Structures are given as structure tokens and as C-alpha cells.
Amino acid sequence: MSFGRSMKFFSTLLLVLAAVFTLQAGTILLEGKYQKKNIYVINSVAEAGVGFCVYEVTVNGEVTTDETNSHAFEVDLTIYGFKLGDPVIIAINYKDGCEPRILNPGALEPQPTFETQNIELNTGGVLTWETTNEQGALPFIIQQFKWNKWVNVGEIKGKGTSTRNSYSFQTIPVSGQNKFRIVQRSYDGKLRKSPTVEMVSAKRKVTMTFDKKTKAIVFSEDTNYELYNAYGQIIKRGNGGKVLMESQPKGDYYISFDNSTEKLTR
């Protein structure tokens, strides 16, 4: 084989090996906004038993200088001069047959930091609030206290800016005492809550009867409801003037509606 042909063969072999390596390798991508937190990685030994799983880490396309040849390492984001909320993309490249574990995968997710400056509920059920210090466009969840628990009744996307922001939401009040609040949920499920706002509605109380002929729960007017079996499991949830029960087995049930919870026997 001539020298030229040998070099061509060798080059082709290198390309094939590189392609195979690329197919066998893996990448974990973390994308979000800088939250003044670093990334912590648990690194395993490579499948071959030599070296470690992760072979390269990039931050916004730039190869990091972090020492990855250890069982655990930190991706230090403080050295890049990021400001709070700056976009960040981290690529953690690892070898075939192993996979690193990210200890804090939500570190680039915005956290609920809003501060409630004002929250009001008028007699028509319109909830308005103003916030400052939002550091990410997280949704505001509107919650209503009824049936002895906080119930999610709506959602509005937050503006995510630190300036004063205003929001409004049309609620559906129950008869009598009403309580509302807004919350934002963090990546790990923790809630940041506003103060509770209350008002007394003049709305007529909704009543309930059970129609044995049609096997249906009938309300005096349309209402939100939740139907539970004797074990406290939700069977149906919705809004309307009746709840059909013909497909449900005989037994005890609980129906929550308006501002009440009542027991019935099918």
C-alpha cells in the first residue's frame, strides 16, 4: 500500500472512530437563567475502569477549567461574570456506559422571590395584586380556601421583573365568607405565599338534593364541586348543576360544593 493510500485509509479510520465515539458518548444539557448558584455533579468511574465518566463541561460554549477527574466536582459559574437572570447553557459530556448525576438540577430555574405590595378582592370577586422583586417569569397560582383546604382556581404567568407589576383575576366567590391568596411554586415544590385577602359574599347559598329516579346529585344552581368516595378519593370534579351517579356503586359519598361538604348514600 502506497504512503498516500495509507494516509487516506488512516484518516478515514480516524473519522469512523470519531463518529462511533460521538454516537456512544452522551450529553446532559442544563439550560436556564443564572440564579447565583453553582452546579454540583456526582461523577462515576468510566465503564472501562480507567478515568472518570465526564470528559468535558462547557458553559455557553466555552470549555470550563473545572477539575472533572474526581468522584464529585463543581461547575463554578461565579467566574463568568454573570448577572442575575443571564441565560446559561451548560453541557456535561460523558463517556459511553456511564452517566453522571446532577445534585441540583433546578439551580438554573427561577425561584419565587416576589414581594406582595398590595392585594385586594372586591365584592364582584375580582382579585387584584401588585408585586415587586420578581426574578423569573413563574406562574402565579390563585388559591381559594374552601372545603377546609386551599384549592387551585386559576393561574396567571408572572412578568418576572423586579419592578412593580400589577395583575388581576376574576374569581368565582362562594356564598358567605371567602378567602383567597396567590402563590408561586419553586422547582422543589416549596410555596411562596401572599397575604390572605377576605370578603363576605351576598351570594345565595347553594343547596343539594339527591334525585333517586335519575340517580343524580342536583344543585339549586351551577357550582364547582368535588365528589369523593368513602375513602376520600376524588371521583369527579367539575362545574355544573348536577352530578350523575348512575355508574357509581352503592355506598357512602361526600360532595363538596359552594362552601359546604355533605355526606350522601347512594
Considering the domain boundaries, does residue 91 fall inside one?
yes
Q: Specify if 6 maps to a domain.
A: no
Domain extent, residue 217, equals: 208-265
pTM of the model: 0.73
Q: Which of 79, 102, 125 is the last residue of a domain?
A: 102
Q: What is the CATH number of the domain that holds 197?
A: 2.60.40.10
The three grid cell numbers given for residue 169, joined into one nine-digit string: 383575576
- Is residue 234 domain-resident? yes
Domain limit, last residue, from 70, 102, 134: 102
**Number of domains within the chain:** 3
164 shares a domain with 236: no
> Which cell goes with 112?
419565587
pLDDT given at position 111? 87
Residue 1 lies in a domain: no
Instruction: Give per-10-residue mean pLDDT for the chain (266 aa).
Output: 48 39 72 93 88 95 93 96 92 94 92 95 96 92 97 95 96 96 91 97 95 94 96 94 93 96 92
The reply to whether 179 and 242 lie within a common domain is: no
